[in-house]
Structures are given as C-alpha cells and as structure tokens.
Amino acid sequence: MLAACATAAPAGCALGSAEQHSILHKHSLVIGVKADQPGLGLLKDGRYQGFDVDVATYVAGKLGVPPSRITFKTTPSSVREKALESGSVDMVVATYSITPARKTRITFAGPYYVAHQDTLIRSSDRSITGVHDLAKKRICAVNGSYSSKRITEERGIAAVPVPVGTYSACIPLLTAGKVDAVSTDDLILAGFAAGHPDLHLIGAPFTDEKYGIGLRKGDLAGCETVNRILTRMYQDGSAGRFLNHWFADTGARLTTSVPQFEGCS
C-alpha cells in the first residue's frame, strides 16, 4: 500500500499520522527556503530565487503542485526542524545538510546536491590557505548551523567562534575585519563571493555536505517519491541547468551527476 501511495497518492492510503500529513496528499505546498543566500535562496524584489528555489519548484511540479500553489517561507537554519514539526512548512529546501541528529527529528529525501565545506576570506589575507590555518582565527558561527563545529569540535582546531544569526550577517563582519573567515558550504560562499571582489574562496574543501529535502518525520512514501523526482531532475538535465544558471561564473566546482541517496527513514 505504501508503494501505491508513493505512485498515486490516493486519499485512502493514509495509514497513520505520517501518511495523513504526507506531501503526497497536498493540493498546495508551503516550502521553507533561505532568504539571504545569493544563488541558493534569496528574497529579492518580493520574489524568492536561487538553486534551492528552482529545485523546490521542480519537485513540487512533479508532485502536481504548480508555482501558483506554492508559498515560499523564509526558514533560517535555527528553526528548520521546528518549522517541519509544527507543520508551518510542508518541506524545507534550504541548504539543509543531512546529519544523524537531524534525522532523529525529520525525514530527509535526497541529497539533491553534495556541497563541500570551504572557507571565504578577505582577498588581501595570505595567512589562510586551508582549514588548519583557522587556529586562533575568528570565524563566523551561525545559529543552527554545524559548520563552525566541524572545525572546532570535529577537527579540534582552536578557532574563535563569533556567534551570528545568519550567513549574510557574516559578510559585513568579514569585510570590516571583525572576523577572519567564514567557513561553510562552497555553494553558499560562492554566492556571496560573486558580489564581493574583495573576498576570496580559498578552494580547499574538507567535508561533504549532503543537501537534503526536509519532510515531516515518518513521511517515507513522500521521501521515496521525491527521490525518484530528484533522479529525474538530474537525468533530464534540469539540475545541471539550475546549477550553471546560478554558479557558472563563480568558480565553484559543480557536480551534475545524480547524488547517492541516503535512504528514507
């Protein structure tokens, strides 16, 4: 029956709470995205735009929900799980790295892209060429993001975290010399660097960041369907077009092959 739900999503397939709230039964969708990340999720002139927004629109369309029935909602890193758990959004497509801790609270489809953590510095700074050079350097630590902890906790590098609310807030701190580096996913950093010639992406990635589509916990049928849609997105060339549209001129190393999925749980 779950397989039938994943294909046709008839109302009679609702076997429990997770299935009743599945994205497969939605006539319209509220999708959580970022609003301050150029190239990924940016609210500009009253409209959301970027790679994540394109992916979300593509997935929704294949689920039978046209753009006219999509509502995008700004969803910062610090509230992504809460937004899904409360039902204020139906899915989240917001540079949402799949982690074991997050998987205890929500279900992830994908990944729809595998980014790599890199580091953004001032172009005039010659002291940072890799992650280990961040020792004793001031780095942005964004609420709800794990990126700074990958440096200080996972690698034991004695960087000095400077707490901020969003990655967009890091950029003026970096240009003003109040932090020495911003380290997070290369696509996020490439989007910011494109508008700041005085900033430099060092090109020394040190992690895999698997961007997942967040769904309500237990929506396995929805997850499996979204994974099939993501496979098609790469196979029909849409993913490559989206990536090149937003990042072709940024210097980011782009991958246009289907990512290996995590599996729905």
In this predicted model, what pLDDT tens digit does every residue of 61-110 receive, in sequence order? 999 999 999 999 999 999 999 999 999 999 999 999 999 999 999 999 99
Question: What's the whole-number mean pLDDT along residues 174-184?
Answer: 97
Q: Are residues 103 and 155 in the same domain?
A: no
Q: Are residues 95 and 70 in the same domain?
A: yes
Question: What's the whole-number mean pLDDT along residues 164-175?
Answer: 95
Q: Are residues 34 and 107 in the same domain?
A: yes
Where does residue 201 fall: left (phi above 0), alpha (psi -120 to 50 degrees), or beta otherwise?
A: beta
State the residue for tokens 């294949």.
62
Q: Are residues 121 and 196 in the same domain?
A: yes
Where is the domain boundary, 169, 201, 233?
201
Q: Are strands 91-92 and 29-33 parallel, antiparallel or unpaired?
A: parallel
Q: Are residues 138 and 44 in the same domain?
A: no
Structural domains of the chain, count: 2
Q: How many Å apart are CA 51 and CA 246, to the nearest integer? A: 7
Residue 31: inside a domain? yes
Q: Are residues 59 and 162 in the same domain?
A: no
> Cα-flanking dihedrals φ and ψ of residue 160, to 5°?
-110, 105
Supply the CATH number for residue 169's domain.
3.40.190.10
Please state the separation of Cα 11 from the chain's center in Å: 30
End-to-end CA distance of the chain: 17
Q: Are residues 191 and 224 in the same domain?
A: no
State the residue for tokens 């196979």.
235
Give residue 33's domain range.
Answer: 2-114+210-247
Q: How many Å apart are CA 220 and CA 122, to the nearest integer? A: 44
Per-residue pLDDT at 5? 44
Q: Are residues 162 and 196 in the same domain?
A: yes
Question: What's the whole-number mean pLDDT along residues 29-49?
Answer: 97
Question: What's the whole-number mean pLDDT along residues 183-189?
Answer: 94
Question: What's the whole-number mean pLDDT along residues 201-230?
Answer: 96
Q: Are residues 108 and 9 in the same domain?
A: yes
Residue 81: inside a domain? yes
Q: Are residues 110 and 12 in the same domain?
A: yes
